[in-house]
Structure 1
Amino acid sequence: MLKSKSFQSRLADICIWIVILIFTVICLFPLINMVAISFSSKSAAAANRVGLLPIGFTLDSYKSLLKETQFWRSFGISVERVVIGTALNLILSILMAYPLSRTKREFKSRSIYMNLMVFSMLFSGGMVPIFITIKNLHLLDTIWSLVLPGAVNVFNTILLMNFFRSVPKSLEEAAEIDGCSKWKILFQIYLPISLPALATIALFSIVGHWNDFFGGLLYINKAANYPLQTYIQQLNVDVTKITNASQLQSVADISNKTLNSAKIVISTIPLLIIYPFLQKYFVKGMVIGSVKE
């Protein structure tokens, strides 16, 4: 028979929930405030009068963004970057993590590769050598300049490697008895039960590629080839480009503050859509891939 909670236990639960609620409000307030600013009038945003609700509700900032053809082009480039970059990162991480999860008896050179990987986490050639390499390979102004420099993520590889190590050896031994090759064991045993780790790696890669703007500034010379984050990072109200009265009225109704808020809101939407589908795997993938028995 279950015992009812004591007064001290109930009081502790109430305090915990209050603390969680306070932190939730603290985390949500900046986002809600940003959404409110993006829908507010220019004067209200400039006067810092916007709180959790828009003041002088208007869609002018969003209209200014969405009517730009370059916005949609950059959006498509970012989607392409996320798809190619995430697929490449997953493939290379799997192909590296699987052999490195073997014992030294099975893979004699394992220690050498592990030391090289750890060394690359601590030290790198730096920005200039990477840029020169990309330039010499004639990859500037291409999608490959955005995905190849970070194609192999050592942290993700180690995470997946530890997950592979947690898979019971009896499964692999049973498959070997049935005559399965190493490739068949990888694709039919390891990968199907590694969805939590793969989803975690995919989430890291998607967020990294989607939010990165510096790669576009560094490797893309033509503004037409900018990914979305690079495009909106440089997008401001430019009065020098006004050519008619309608554009003048549009600029009069928006400001860089409301426009920047609209940028942040729009660029956040895809991640908010993707995250719920991967979140159920996230915690499990982090815990199992990080703990070694």
Structure 2
Amino acid sequence: MLKSKSFGSKLADVVIWSIILLLTAACLFPLINMVAISFSNKSAAAGNLVGLLPVDFNLASYKTLLQEGQFWRSFGISVLRVVLGTALNLILVVLMAYPLSKSKREFRLRNVYMNLMIFAMLFSGGMIPIFITVKNLHLLDSIWSLILPGAVPIFNVILLMNFFKSVPKSLEEAAELEGCSKWQILFKIYVPISLPALATISLFSIVGHWNDFFSGLLYINKAVNYPLQTYIQQLTVDITKVTNPAQLQSLADISNKTLNSAKIVVSTIPLLIIYPFLQKYFVTGMVMGSVKE
């Protein structure tokens, strides 16, 4: 028979849930306010009159963004960067984490590689040497200049390496007895078991590639090749350069504040779509179905 909770236990539940709700509200309210500003009139936004609901609802900021042909080109470049960059990150991280998860007896140079990786993570060569390297490789103004400089995220390698260490050794020993090679052990045992860790790393890579705007400013000289975040970071309201009366009327309804809010909303939507597909792996067991030690 289940016992009813004591008064102290119920009070603790109320306090905990109240704190959780307050923290949730503190995170959500600024986001909701930003969405409301993006749909509001520029005068209301400038006067800080917008709360959780739009004032003088209009879509002028979104029309300015979506009617630009460069917006869609930059959007495609960012999607391509996310796909290629995330795939390359996962391949290189898996191939580095697996041997580094072995003991020094199995991989003699393990400590040497680990020390080099830790040193590289703590001490960067700097922006100028990296730029010179990219330039000398003739990668400027190409999609690879946005991907290759960060192809091996060392933090992700360490995360996956520690995850690989938690895989029961008996699984690998059983596979070796069956005649499996190291490649088969990696891709048929370690990778399927490590889906939660790979999903987390994938999300880190996707968010990192999608939100990065500085690489576009640094390595892309032609605005036509800008990724989305670099494009919208450069986009501002400048009525003095507009000669078309229809476009002038459209820009008259927006300001940099409403446009910047629309930028953030639009750039966040793809991540909100991707996250639910990866979320289920975060709660999956570490080694479901594996042999217990």
Shared fold per TM-score greater than 0.5 = yes
Contact 1:93 1:156 in 2 (8 A): yes
CA distance in 2, matches of 1:226, 1:106: 45
Q: How does 1:81-230 map to 2 (within 5 A)?
A: 81-230=81-230
2:265 paired residue number: 265
What letter matches 1:253 in structure 2?
D
What letter matches 1:116 in structure 2?
L
Deviations 1:71-113 (Å, cap 9, x if unpaired)? 0000000000000110000000000001111111111111100
Please tell me whether residue 52 in structure 1 is matched to residue 52 in structure 2.
yes
* Structure 2 stretches lacking a partner, 5+ long: 287-293
Deviation, structure 1 residue 133: 0.2
Deviation, structure 1 residue 283: 5.9
Deviations 1:204-261 (Å, cap 9, x if unpaired)? 0000000000000000000000000000001001123212210110111111111111
CA distance in 1, matches of 2:161, 2:120: 17
CA distance in 1, matches of 2:137, 2:205: 24
Contact 1:199 1:285 in 2 (8 A): no
CA distance in 2, matches of 1:285, 1:36: 40
Deviations 1:101-146 (Å, cap 9, x if unpaired)? 1111111111100110111111111000000000000000000000
Contact 1:216 1:227 in 2 (8 A): yes
1:6 paired residue number: 6
2:291 paired residue number: none
What letter matches 2:147 in structure 1?
V
CA RMSD of aligned residues (A): 1.7
1:80 paired residue number: 80
CA distance in 1, matches of 2:261, 2:113: 45
CA distance in 2, matches of 1:247, 1:59: 14
> Normalising by the residue count of structure 1, what TM-score does the alignment of the two structures yield?
0.96
> Normalising by the residue count of structure 2, what TM-score does the alignment of the two structures yield?
0.96
Please tell me whether residue 66 in structure 1 is matched to residue 66 in structure 2.
yes
CA distance in 1, matches of 2:283, 2:150: 24
What letter matches 2:107 in structure 1?
F
Deviations 1:29-78 (Å, cap 9, x if unpaired)? 01000000001111111111000000100011101110000000000000
* Structure 1 stretches lacking a partner, 5+ long: 287-293
What letter matches 1:32 in structure 2?
I
Contact 1:197 1:285 in 2 (8 A): no
2:246 paired residue number: 246
Instruction: State the percentage of identical aligned residues.
Output: 80
What letter matches 1:216 in structure 2?
G
CA distance in 2, matches of 1:103, 1:121: 22
CA distance in 2, matches of 1:159, 1:47: 46
CA distance in 1, matches of 2:84, 2:250: 37
Contact 2:39 2:258 in 1 (8 A): yes
Change in Cα spacing, 1:285 to 1:95, as seen in structure 2 (3 Å) is farther
Contact 1:36 1:52 in 2 (8 A): yes
What letter matches 1:186 in structure 2?
L
Deviation, structure 1 residue 2: 1.9
Deviation, structure 1 residue 285: 8.8
Give the secondary structure class of the aligned counterpart of 2:252.
Answer: helix
Deviation, structure 1 residue 284: 5.9
Change in Cα spacing, 1:181 to 1:120, as seen in structure 2 (3 Å) is same
CA distance in 2, matches of 1:282, 1:32: 26
Give the secondary structure class of the aligned counterpart of 1:2.
Answer: coil
CA distance in 2, matches of 1:234, 1:24: 32
CA distance in 2, matches of 1:11, 1:106: 54
Give the secondary structure class of the aligned counterpart of 2:150.
Answer: coil
Deviates further, 275-284 or 127-136: 275-284
